[in-house]
């Protein structure tokens, strides 16, 4: 019970700090490449932030935690402005990482992780962008799959598909993007 109360208190305090910081901080764009290989979902993304003054901000990066997904691993957070690796803490239930970073006028973060898939579904959380109370100026998403993989459904229809040797590349290009659903893909081999 104490652990639960501590987690609730921690999340509440992070929300208050994030809400205050958010009035100054802006999440502007993201450029994400997904790959499904065997039973793993790999995410590599560039995230673009801006702020009126250089300051340290606390950020929370979420992961799907339904039982059909394993715990994320090979997590990396890098400031592309400085090439510094940013240390993070992972929440007890592996639902997110929490980290502090300096954000100035234009700051890019490169975040990667892998997550085991225990079913034929993969998910990337998009709906948390509503927390920023404004749409992304731009969102570009790419999914790389083996040609032998059959896509059963997408939660968001791709804008285009390119075949490259033994791979398929699905592409989504969004402007003024405020997603109402997460990126979900169902597939089979």
Condensed to tens digits (0 to 9), the pLDDT of residues 10-25 reads 444 444 444 444 568 9
pLDDT at 142 over 70: yes
Condensed to tens digits (0 to 9), the pLDDT of residues 25-53 reads 999 999 999 999 989 999 999 999 999 98
Domain boundaries, the chain: 2-188
CA distance 27 to 153: 29
- What does pTM read for this prediction? 0.86
Indicate the fold that domain 2-188 takes in CATH: Immunoglobulin-like (2.60.40)
Q: At 7, is the pLDDT very low, low, confident or very high (cuts 50, 70, 90)?
A: very low
* 3-state secondary structure string across the chain: CHHHHHHHHHHHHHHHHHHHHHCCCEEEEEEEEEEEECCEEEEEEEEEEECCCCEEEEEEEECCCCCCECCCEEEEEEECCCCEECCCEECCCCCEEEEEEEECCCEEEEEEEEEEECCCEEEECCHHHHHHCCCEEEEEEEEEEECCCEEEEECCCCCEEEEECCEEEEEEEEEEECCCCCEEEEEEC
For the segment 118-125, the average pLDDT, to the nearest whole number, is 96
């Amino acid at each position: 019970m104490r652990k639960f109360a501590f987690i609730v208190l921690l999340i509440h305090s992070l929300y208050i700090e994030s809400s205050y910081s958010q009035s100054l901080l802006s999440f502007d764009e993201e450029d994400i490449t997904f790959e499904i290989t065997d039973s793993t979902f790999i995410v590599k993304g560039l995230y673009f932030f801006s702020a009126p003054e250089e300051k340290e901000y606390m950020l929370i990066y979420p992961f799907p935690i339904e039982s059909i997904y394993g715990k994320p691993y090979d997590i990396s957070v890098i400031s592309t402005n400085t090439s510094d690796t940013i240390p993070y803490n992972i929440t007890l239930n592996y639902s997110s990482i929490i980290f502090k970073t300096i954000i100035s006028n234009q700051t890019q973060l490169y975040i990667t992780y892998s997550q085991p898939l225990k079913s034929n579904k993969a998910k990337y959380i998009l709906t948390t962008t509503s927390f920023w109370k404004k749409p992304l100026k731009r969102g570009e998403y790419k999914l790389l799959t083996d040609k032998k993989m059959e896509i059963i459904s997408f939660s968001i229809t791709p804008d285009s598909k390119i075949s490259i040797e033994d791979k398929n590349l699905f592409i989504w290009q969004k402007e003024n993007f405020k997603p109402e659903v997460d990126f979900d893909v169902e597939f089979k081999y």
